[in-house]
Structure 1
Amino acid sequence: MKKPIMMISIFFLSMILASCQMADGNKTNGSNNGQIQEEKWPALKTVSGRKIIAELEQTTTDTKIRNEAFAKVKESEELNRGLFGKNTPELREDLGVQWIEAEAAMQAIEKIFGGHGGVNDVGVIFSENQSSGADQPGFWLGIKEPDEKVTEFVEELQKQVDEGKILAKYIYIFQSEFTQSENNELMDRVSAAVKKMASSHATPDRVSYGVSVDTITGTVEISHDFLTDKQKEAIQKQFPDHTFSITQEGRLVAGLGEADIEYPKKKITRTLSKEGAYVMSVSESSMLVVEATPMDFSATGGESNFYSAVSYSFPKADEKVEVGQRVLVEASGPIMESYPGQGSAKYVEVLPTYQPEKADLTEAEVVRQAIKQSKKEGGFVLAVSHIAFDVKTDQWKVEFTQDQDVFEVVVDDKRGELSDN
């Protein structure tokens, strides 16, 4: 979901109030509520396709207080350290609106609507940023059926405009076609429909999906890795009054009889590679893989050689992969942030194993044997940090990293001396 910035202006407040009175006086018994609302709160103009029903008026040019607040934004440590991205004039303006106008608007919402809970029942709030593609930054308040609270909201913020604390141009008030509570209820109903389809999948424990409703557009957004075209059509027919955006994340989870693993056409490669992750252990229904290439987090105070590791659930893993192989894994759903991480493997690609021309053993066989020869025990994950074949000694050297400990294991290049799995 998107998070924009919001804006409001009360330039025609007297006009709005006058039109409210006229609408009341001209009501007929045949008028419905929607017509009454349109008469009470006519659109002053349209901005970004939204009907603006009230505005703030920039009544002063003395904005010293706002300027001082914006100066603090530009001097903020987070901005200058690049935590929000490249420090550009657009980003500075976006942050200024978020930290000044949006903050003032949220305080007014808390006072008048009772906070998020209260405003969610009558409308939506969001922010728009230039850094996210908006034409201008702004804080938006959308009300489905405007009433006197809109007037109170405008009056509350107009005081701050008059005092030079905020700028009117960054606040927008419009008539929304829906409320956040309605969006949440819609999201729950769609989620229930998708969940039912997920449970009917051949391997329901492996599929993943996400459902949300865009606060700004009201579009129902579904991400998934199992829905068929027929199921997608069925969902949209079940909710015909809503617009859908359905996105497939990666490949579809394999159904009955479909392969969830791919083996290389050429099993052997003469080129040593650090692509993928090593399979370090395998069970009937899971496998532990550790990346062959470490990541460097030293710039942010972390480890300089961090080997990512994930324990994946993978049906019949011991029949499909072997310890020592390098693999590429496509996960289904999120990876739990533990070490090693925890996740579900959707699809596995086994990579060619390295074997020098004069070597009898393959990289996968050597890694498998080196793990068995290692005397290192404990709960720390074992990572292959280096592997090399010495043709002169006819031996392989495998360097392991375990927590902060680095050690080497030597494996003779003799197939007959390989111990049993």
Structure 2
Amino acid sequence: MQQLIDPIVRQRRKTLQLSKEEKMMKRLLGSKHIVIAVLTVLVVAGCGQSEPSTEMTGYVINRNASSILVVGDAGNKMQNSQTPEAMSLRIDGSTKWQGIASDKLKPGHKVKATIKGPIAESYPSQASANRIELLSPAQQEPGLLTEQEAIEKALALHSTAGSVYVYRTELIVNEKNWRIQLDDYLRPGNPVEVRIDAKPDSAK
């Protein structure tokens, strides 16, 4: 009799052991599915996020075929400093242009640049431009030089200065002239005023 019972008991024990193993496997598989689901959500969320963009507003001081130098005015200075923001921006076929075509951009234009990728911590700093947007001038009068035209003339008069930038601009309508204040962005603090006749092609 005992000989008949032992195989039955062993079989039941084996069945119980298999049941425990099956339950353990199910738990492991369930945990694995949860981990996969969480990873999938994280990957999808990561793909949906774009790299944070950095923007800079300033005047174009000079440009060539592959880059432009943008320097902020009196209101765009580095934190806790009198030094203006300055950035050399690489431009190429992937750069987007808003409000102006690439070949029309000149010194004196005020722009908002959106930067992509890393920024080299030099001065001026260096980065790649994702988008260049032309900003409308604060002052404009029909029949008179635009702010860009006046700045371009002022910069031409100080072309040998090297690190000159636009500190402040003002159109005096009743006098029909532009007052352009230029300063040295490497050694700021001594702006020089240049008066540009807003009507005839001349400078004072």
Give the TM-score band, short-chain normalised: 0.5 to 0.7
SS at match of 2:201: helix
Aligned pairs, number: 168
Shift of 1:356: 4.2
> Computing the radius of gyration over CA atoms, which structure comes out larger, 1 or 2?
2
Q: What TM-score do you get using the length of structure 2 for normalisation?
A: 0.64
Whether contact under 8 Å (2:196, 2:202) holds in the other structure is no
1:195-216 deviations in Å (ceiling 9; x for gaps): xxxxxxxxxxxxxxxxxxxxxx
Does the 8 Å CA contact 1:282/1:318 hold for their aligned counterparts? no
Deviation at 1:375, TM superposition (A): 5.5
3-state DSSP of counterpart to 1:367: helix
How far apart, CA to CA, are the structure 1 residues paired with 2:175 and 2:116?
44
Q: 1:322, CA displacement in angstroms?
A: 1.6
Relative distance call for 1:220 and 1:277 in structure 2 (3 A) is: farther
- Structure scoring higher RCO (CA < 8 A, sep ≥ 6) equals 2
Equivalent in 20, 32, 48 of residue 247 of structure 1: 48
Q: Which residue identity is paired with 2:70?
A: V
Q: Offset of 1:410 from its aligned partner? A: 2.3
Matched, 1:291 2:72: yes
Distance 1:314 1:326 in 2: 16
Residues 354 and 364, structure 1, Cα contact 8 Å, conserved in 2 = no
Work out whether residues 395 and 411 of structure 1, in 8 Å CA contact, stay in contact via their aligned partners in 2.
Answer: yes
- Alignment partner of 1:314 is 2:99: no
Deviation at 1:415, TM superposition (A): 4.1
Q: Is the 8 A contact 1:400 1:407 kept in 2?
A: yes
- Determine if the alignment matches structure 1 residue 339 to structure 2 residue 139: no
1:312 maps to amino acid: L
Deviation at 1:295, TM superposition (A): 3.2
Following superposition, the deviation at residue 371 of structure 1 comes to 0.8
Q: Secondary structure at the match of 1:335?
A: strand
State the shift of 1:354 in Å. Answer: 4.4
State how far apart, in whole Å, the 2-side matches of 1:284 and 1:415 are: 31
Distance 1:327 1:357 in 2: 20
Equivalence for 1:401: 183
Give me the identity figure in percent: 27
> C-alpha separation between the residues in 2 aligned to 1:375 and 1:314?
23
CA contact (8 A) 1:279 1:325 kept: yes
Amino acid in structure 2 at the alignment position of 1:290: V
3-state SS of paired residue (1:368): helix
Aligned equivalent of 1:365: 149
Report the alpha carbon displacement of residue 365 of structure 1 after superposing the two structures with TM: 0.5
Cα RMSD over matched residues?
3.8
Tell me, which stretches of 5 or more residues in structure 1 are unaligned?
A: 1-25, 40-50, 52-143, 145-175, 179-216, 222-242, 251-274
2:13 is aligned to none
Q: Cα 1:416–1:408, aligned 2, differ >3 Å: closer, same or farther?
A: closer
Shift of 1:351: 1.7
Partner deviation per Cα, 1:74-98 (whole Å, 9 max, x = no partner): xxxxxxxxxxxxxxxxxxxxxxxxx
- TM-score, with length taken from structure 1: 0.33
Does structure 1 retain, via aligned residues, the 8 Å contact 2:71–2:84? yes
Report the Cα offset of residue 393 of structure 1: 4.2
Contact 2:78/2:85 (<8 A) preserved: no
Deviation, 1:386, is 1.0
Q: What are the superposed Cα offsets for residues 121-157 of structure 1, whole Å, 9 maximum, x if unpaired? A: xxxxxxxxxxxxxxxxxxxxxxx9xxxxxxxxxxxxx
Change (3 A) 1:278 1:244: same
Query: How far has the Cα of 1:326 moved from its partner?
Result: 1.0
- Aligned partner (choices 374, 386, 391) of residue 168 of structure 2: 386
Deviation per CA, 1:353-398: give whole Å up to 9, x if none: 34443762110001111111116524x4x33221112345433221
- Give the letter for the 1:385 counterpart: Y
Which residue pairs with 1:276 in the alignment?
57
Higher strand share: 2
CA distance in 1 between counterparts of 2:50 and 2:201 reads: 45
How far apart are residue 408 of structure 1 and its match?
A: 2.2
